[in-house]
Amino acid sequence: MNDKPAGSPRKPTRPGRDDRLKAALKANMARRKAQARARSADRAETGDKKAED
């Protein structure tokens, strides 16, 4: 009785949006990795054992 398929059809995403999201994710991951490296280097220099627990 209902001619529509089950579920709502999604709009196809634009390639430009996907590219922007991919670039933003890559930048975010790079920033987080740099922060983690800086934190671990700081801990290694100061010998802070409490922060490692």
Instruction: Indicate the average pLDDT of the chain.
Output: 83
Residue 42 covered by a domain:
yes
**Domains: count for the chain:** 1
Residue 14 covered by a domain:
no
Residue 26 covered by a domain:
yes
Q: Let me know: does 34 contact 25? Beta carbons within 8 Å.
A: no
pLDDT band, residue 19 (cuts 50/70/90):
very high
Residue 10 covered by a domain:
no
Token duo for residue 51? 């922060």
Residue 33 covered by a domain:
yes
pLDDT band, residue 1 (cuts 50/70/90):
low
pTM: 0.54
Residue 29 covered by a domain:
yes
Q: Which domain holds residue 27?
A: 22-52
